[in-house]
Chains A and B, each alone.
Chain A
């Protein structure tokens, strides 16, 4: 009975969001194109993302239409700001290989291995390694975050690296 009720409420909710999507999609796409001169393709992608962002915090939104329009305008501005940083490549660059790809044969497997190794560690190690290597926290900052001593934080990070290496190898052998 309760499972049925749950399914019904999920469907109702999905229908409601589906209607919001259909009723506002064209408005958002047109706003991005007309006000910010964004290509139709990019405007459609932005509008789609705005709906997802809206879904994630719909419970907080009072004026849905205003929220959606403002979100697409702000998103279009952010998109244009990012695009303004792009620099056109000279024509001869078509013939030159991308220097970033010079060691792609070595770097790509390393990156993939890094990601997979990250995935198989404990939650404690996930957070320690993320703080240290993805967010650039210093060891004393990791210690504050984990409410521990600097000495223990340093030890934890080393152990987590060992754990990642060990578990990744074990996984490879399975």
Chain B
């Protein structure tokens, strides 16, 4: 019979060991470049084969995700390779299962960032297999299901995603994990939005806004802005504008210039829908200039297409063509996605002759938006009328 004291000591021994391993790994990991061929061709040194080292690499992969998803993938794969090399029985349950599952999670997320959705789902399956080795990783497992639910809509598998989200909501509720709960609701609302189920989207999003932590200004601002989009779609454009202004204020407080500009852009398109073309043109020009100043060429291009659309509505065709020309030049200069450049070049060529210029702009705009998630998507011209 093991006493409480003995169990506690064993627990403390494990956590002291993991903490020390992680501290020892920090310097080595920060000097590593996971994508360099060298690291991959070494036999893994014995002192790297620790759970702390794997945790540190996984955490580095997570940090690198936004700026460089390929590098993040390399770190996560290296973490998995090292986790695989740790002899069986080195750590008590659930340590090995948790570090392997976490490495797989980062692999999946990096794949998602570069638009490799099948690979992302395979990685999430592997993460679930790892977590399934222990009874105590139910929360980690639910987080993987959430990650899977983020990928599925990209593959047009909306219903599966909604089912998954419904299954994990009670898990996060039981853990009183409000952060993930809000994410579940935010994603559910986004899927409803994609399915044009605007009323349901609104209900879920308003619930999410009630649950979001007061300190989490970023999430609150994002939810408020999305709610604005939904109100816009519901034809409640004045309320949409009020929500955009509220979200904008929060983004200003957070110092997030990019998000402020994004919200300005949403305001401009809503103003356009309200029929005030002159005001919309002015706002879209300003958003586009700000995006260019922030070197956000993709967003500047999309705002440019909205601007071209507004100019067409206003009967200013030659100005619309000039905007498309400029957006194309900016995309080429910024060496953006080849498929986006082809789409814009098509628009430049077709705009002077087409009888439905707004449809052509909309077709290219949809393609450019899609490229954010599917960079390899090939552009197909609009079917002839």
Contact = CB atoms under 8 A, between A and B. Distances in A.
Nearest to B137: A53
A52 B135 CA distance: 12
B358 to A, nearest CB: 39
Given A75-B138, A119-B87, A144-B116, A53 B98 contact: yes
B98 A123 contact: no
Contacts of A14: 12, 15-16, 19
Given A10-B16, A62-B176, A122-B41, A50 B122 contact: no
Nearest to B180: A60
Interface in A113-142: 115, 118-124, 126-127, 130, 134-135, 137, 141
A22 B8 contact: yes
B374 interface: no
B139 interface: yes
A48 B11 contact: yes
Contacts of B333: none
A56 B134 CA distance: 14
A30 B23 CA distance: 36
B174 A73 contact: yes
Contact of A10 (B19, B77, B175): B19
Interface residues of B, number: 56
A53 B134 contact: yes
B44 interface: yes
B94 to A, nearest CB: 5
A134 to B, nearest CB: 8
A70 B174 contact: yes
A78 interface: yes
Interface string A51-89: 111011100111100110011011110110010000000
Given A22-B8, A44-B2, A67 B42 contact: no
Given A66-B176, A122-B41, A135-B126, A74 B95 contact: no
B136 interface: yes
B261 to A, nearest CB: 31
Main secondary structure of the interface of A (DSSP, over half): helix
Given A10-B19, A52-B92, A71 B4 contact: no
A123 B176 CA distance: 39
B171 interface: yes
B12 A144 contact: no
Interface in B188-243: none
A167 B42 CA distance: 13
Interface string A18-48: 1001100110000000000000000010101
B176 to A, nearest CB: 4
Given A53-B134, A126-B85, A70 B175 contact: yes
B346 to A, nearest CB: 30
Contacts of A82: 135
A121 B138 contact: no
15 contacts: A21-B8, A22-B8, A52-B93, A53-B136, A66-B175, A67-B139, A76-B135, A122-B44, A123-B39, A126-B84, A126-B85, A130-B80, A130-B84, A145-B77, A145-B122
Given A48-B7, A55-B15, A78-B138, 8 more contacts: A18-B11, A49-B93, A55-B11, A56-B95, A73-B174, A120-B43, A123-B85, A144-B118
The 7 A-B residue pairs with the shortest CB-CB distance, nearest first, are A74-B138, A126-B81, A124-B40, A78-B135, A66-B176, A123-B81, A53-B136
